[in-house]
Amino acid sequence: MTEFAPGDRVRVRPAGKPGHVRTPGYLKGHSGWIEGVIGHFPSPEDLAYGLSGQPKRPLYRVGFRQADLWEDYAGATDDHLYADVYEHWLEPGGKE
């Protein structure tokens, strides 16, 4: 079961976490939308420390407007970046 569905607005949690993480720092605190559900996989953050990675966690393809990510972005306003983000890094909401 997944918490989010394609089209849902989400925000990448801004909280830092020490050690190995799979979510790029430049996405933290930014809003985007769920583009699709990729599947359920063992947590790579746990696997990096020799743990089982269980339970499996949903992984999403999340879209972001590049102008929202970088203050000085000079490209087109409809340029997008897509990233694969695990559910535990996401929270509902965010700006349109």
pLDDT tens digit sequence for 27-73: 999 999 999 999 999 998 889 889 999 999 999 999 999 999 999 99
pLDDT of 63 reads 98
Span 11-39, average pLDDT: 88
Is the pLDDT confidence value at 88 over 80? yes
Q: How much of the chain exceeds pLDDT 90, in percent?
A: 74
How far apart CA 64 and CA 55 sit, in angstroms, is: 28
Q: How far apart are CA 34 and CA 27, in angstroms?
A: 14
Dihedral of CA atoms 30, 34, 37, 43 in degrees, nearest 10, equals: 10
90 in a domain, yes or no?
no
Q: How many CA atoms lie within 13 A of 84 on its CB side?
A: 12
Q: Find the domain containing 60 and state its range.
A: 40-70
- The conformation of residue 45, written as its DSSP 8-state character, comes to H
Work out the mean pLDDT of the chain and round it to a whole number: 91
Query: Does residue 49 lie within any of the structural domains?
Result: yes
Q: Look at residue 31 and tell me if it is in a domain.
A: no
pLDDT band at 1 (very low <50, low <70, confident <90, very high): low
Per the domain annotation, does 34 fall within a domain? no
